[in-house]
Chains A and B, each alone.
Chain A
Amino acid sequence: MKQAVILAAGEGQRLRPFTATRPKVMLSIADKPILQYVVEALAQNGIRNLVIVIGYRREEVFDYMGSGERFGVDITYITQEKQLGTAHALAQAKGVTEDEFLVLPGDNLIEADAIAQFVAVKPEAVLVKRVDNPARYGVVTIAKGMVKGIVEKPKEAGSNVVSTGTYAFSKQIFDFIEPELDIPDVLNNMIAQGKHLRARETDGTWLDVVYPWDILSLNGAVLRQIQANLGGIMETGVSVKGLVSVGKDTVIRSNSYIVGPVVIGDNCDIGPNVCILPATSVGDNVVISPFTEIKNSVIGSDVNIGPGCIIQDSVIDKGCVIKGHFTACSGQADVKVDDEHHMVNLGAMLGEGCSLGNSVTAQPGVIVGNHSQVQALKLISGRLPDRSLVV
């Protein structure tokens, strides 16, 4: 197998507000978009001819991935104008595929070890994995190594083996694709017509993001494997423990205390006396003012955090400006997404470009829409739509 098609056109509506200006594949986990993990996993397995199917907010993918050279791959972009399903997305790539190719979802974080064996498999085949919560995925029934059927999000999962959405196909797959179908439906039709679909199991890293708080669990999982690397300038009295990566031109000022795993991007200005605790990712060009504590959180690029803040189990998207004494303490919260209720331990979820006045307090589980403005001394809770004004 020499070629892979990566499906990267979807929005990921359940992840709003974080997907308002980026496709789901560009969500940042440990300071890298999910798509980059997929591309790197393929490159490490010697697959460098990549077709990326883009659609929603495709410029974000262009701007970051470019020609692929930075990642040692060659990228051909194919646009899916309307997001009509994964099979339709794949069909867009028909004209540029080789006789055999891999297909991967660009929005599932996969690592090189997970596909190391799979790259040599004979089509048609699907990569499966055992998981704890199979009802979220396509559950696969297998007999003698062959797939009998795939059931998407079953009410009762008969097995804990699910499809990772990673496939090895030959060109014959295109004969079975009908518009507005997802790939599992196409495969079920194919099996019904007597074609064989192999199942190959992996125990490598494969992680999916469905809800906003999944960003935190993925971030935590990936951070455990980062390379420690201290770039930038460390002033005297900075304590760094565990796996910590700091980007170039970043300044960490005196008496700051950083406990890894933590990744901090380029051009940040942090401290003095800032405390960054495990499982935190900080983007590029971020300012964190004195006496702030951040724990198990994801902070986007160009964020400015004032003095004396407490930020736990939170996602602060790019470009937010937060004045002093913001409190986002973690607690159990009942969060509603698409009419489903979820009990989760969470701090705050802030969309991009929000601006918070002094001494704002966030109730656990608050989800603030993009470009919202909150005046000083306010208590925010529940779900605020984009461009909310809290006065």
Chain B
Amino acid sequence: MCGIIGYIGDKPAQPILLNCLRRLEYRGYDSCGIAVAAGSIGVYKDAVRVAELAKVAPRLNGTAGIGHTRWATHGEPSQVNAHPHLDCSGKIAVVHNGVINNFQRLKRELTAEGHSFVSETDTEVISHLIEKYYDGNLEKAVEAALSDIDGSYAIIVLVAGESKLVAARKDSPLIIGVSDRENFIASDVPAILDYTNRVIYLEEGDIGVVTKDNVKIRRYGAEVVGEEHKILWSVEDAQKGGYEHFMLKEIHEQPKVIRDTLGEYISAAETEVKLAMMTEANLEGMLIVACGTSYHAALVGKYIVEELVGIPVRSELACEFTYRHQIPAGTAAIVVTQSGETADTLKAMKRLKEGGCQVVAITNVVGSTASRIADQTVYTRAGPEISVAATKSFTAQLMVLYWLALSYSRVDIRQVDNLTMGLRQLPEKVQQVLDNEDKIRQYASYLSRYENVFFISRGINYPVALEGALKLKEISYIHAEGYAAGELKHGPFALLGANTPVIAIVAQDNTYETMLTNIKEVKARGSPLMALAEEGDEAIGELADSVITVPRVDAIFSPVVNTVALQLLAYYTAQQRGCPIDFPRNLAKSVTVE
């Protein structure tokens, strides 16, 4: 999904385009660019986010321009592939959202006719096609170019010397924003709501010619009057699809993310091994390196792989990996990073490569730096994650780790069958956790009154305790510590008491009895105790002050349902405390400095 924008009016176009692009960033943000016309066309674009582009872009003069923000699903985000794309003369600039199916053939024909291409994108054929047909009538040229194209598109065309923008759509969204002495064209309404709330929706096949004072629309060759709609809603609503925050929207997307990852890697693929560099024979150990929430996924991965594959696994913090003296040569190394740009993780990758390791990257961003350094990349299909607090990307990372472990598993066929079926049930189990939201919200309003909280667990859910604490502290600003339940008595006991609630994550596995003992110890120190436990666990109900239940799943999948419950808990606690949930203080979505 990409976002496009066009502006024509009396004001300098550049700041307006950049502001609109920021509004479109939820549609994707791996690269962006703008083109502004004033006699000639100035273009500035790069594989960076809009805020960074805004900082470094030179001042482009002109009161008409176009812009684009991109989320690649195929092909690499790079400066040359970023939009806008120019023709040979540099006088025609195009931004495009969609896919052109016949671009290979068109590109060959245009190349044969003498056009020279600089990018690998399908979009570039549009600018060259328009160049081919342009004889002073831009509208006709665009129409002719589009008749050659098979595919989906929303495009905006800017031509040097023309005081108009031409827009067209087919199977991709496009609207025109109408104002006084200026007009806009955009992928969606929120992009332009800072400037106008008068909107014309373009229909399939429409071609719009927009000047600063006028909007003309051609439909099936005839001119039609575009109906103006007045938009009464605010910017935030639409992008968040009804939710108050991106974080809650993204938490709710998790059943779909799990289904998408299953579809990509598990169901049709027959759990066939796809990592060329890791073979059954050479797989003697594994190293997983990551930061933050991804590190917690790596820690869960350790338990998953050790149980299913039966090899020793080390999960390491990327920032500390620098100081390790030994790099285990020959070990399969995996790095986990949502953005693919985390500085510490990239540094660790380089060190691993220098040490002779083959590196697999698990990342959410196609073409990110991590994917370029890695020998092989496995993409999580979580889609753009806007909220600073990672939620759906964590779940998607776990799904990839389950798939990896199952691909190499050395356990009984019966267990593999059970686990495969268990994986397929996970979307529904996570949905059940979401359906239990009201219960979690009630407990959150209680928790929000405290300033210190401990999260404890054992075994595969120990990393879940860490992740639960991280989510709570980063968005609600409550001081939270995740602890191995057995470590609590080595110090933190001194902090327990009526003002320090403890949240115990209790799974039905070999940790269960010991966890009950630990809970009793905590209770004896007077801390209010909340247990996150499997439904039907009656013993817990008698011990804990409150219980949030999660649906029954195989213990190896319990981190998924437990984490989703703790994400909701952190979200509603922060909401109760009135925190700016999507953009917590002092934090950035991807940490690109060491």
Contact = CB atoms under 8 A, between A and B. Distances in A.
Interface of A: 2-3, 21, 46, 48-49, 54, 58-59, 61-63, 65-69, 72, 74-77, 95-96, 98, 232-233, 248-251, 266-269, 284-285, 287, 301-302, 304, 318-319, 321, 352-353
B252 A267 contact: no
Contacts of B173: 69, 72
A208 to B, nearest CB: 25
A2 B229 contact: yes
B524 interface: no
A95 B230 CA distance: 13
Given A49-B229, A267-B262, 20 more contacts: A3-B229, A58-B242, A62-B241, A62-B252, A67-B188, A69-B173, A74-B238, A76-B232, A96-B232, A98-B230, A233-B268, A250-B268, A251-B268, A266-B263, A267-B263, A285-B424, A301-B259, A301-B427, A319-B428, A321-B425
B267 A285 contact: yes
B203 interface: yes
Interface in B425-455: 425, 427-429, 431-432, 434-435, 437
Contact of B421 (A46, A62, A233, A304): A304
B253 A63 contact: yes
B253 A249 contact: no
Most buried by A among B227, B241, B256, B421: B241
27 contacts: A21-B435, A48-B201, A48-B229, A49-B229, A49-B231, A59-B252, A61-B242, A62-B241, A63-B252, A63-B253, A65-B241, A67-B188, A68-B238, A249-B268, A267-B267, A285-B259, A285-B424, A287-B424, A302-B424, A302-B428, A304-B424, A304-B425, A318-B428, A318-B431, A319-B432, A321-B421, A353-B428
Given A74-B238, A353-B432, A287 B259 contact: no
A287 B232 CA distance: 45
Interface in B231-282: 231-233, 237-239, 241-243, 249, 252-253, 256, 259, 262-264, 267-268
B189 interface: yes
A284 B259 contact: yes
Contacts of A95: 232
A33 to B, nearest CB: 14
Contacts of A248: 263
A302 B230 CA distance: 41
Contact of A74 (B227, B231, B249, B432): B231
B268 A287 contact: no
A77 B234 CA distance: 11
B241 A285 contact: no
Contacts of A66: 241-242
A208 B435 CA distance: 26
Given A59-B437, A267-B262, A304-B421, A76 B241 contact: no
Contacts of A267: 259, 262-263, 267-268
A69 B173 CA distance: 7
Contacts of B428: 301-302, 318-319, 352-353
Contacts of B425: 302, 304, 319, 321
B242 A302 contact: no
B203 A46 contact: yes
A363 to B, nearest CB: 26
B238 A285 contact: no
A44 B259 CA distance: 30
Contacts of A251: 267-268
Contacts of B252: 59, 62-63
A227 B564 CA distance: 37
Interface in B151-204: 173, 188-189, 201, 203
Contacts of B264: 249
Contacts of B232: 76, 95-96
Contacts of B188: 67, 69, 74
Contact of A269 (B229, B233, B267): B267
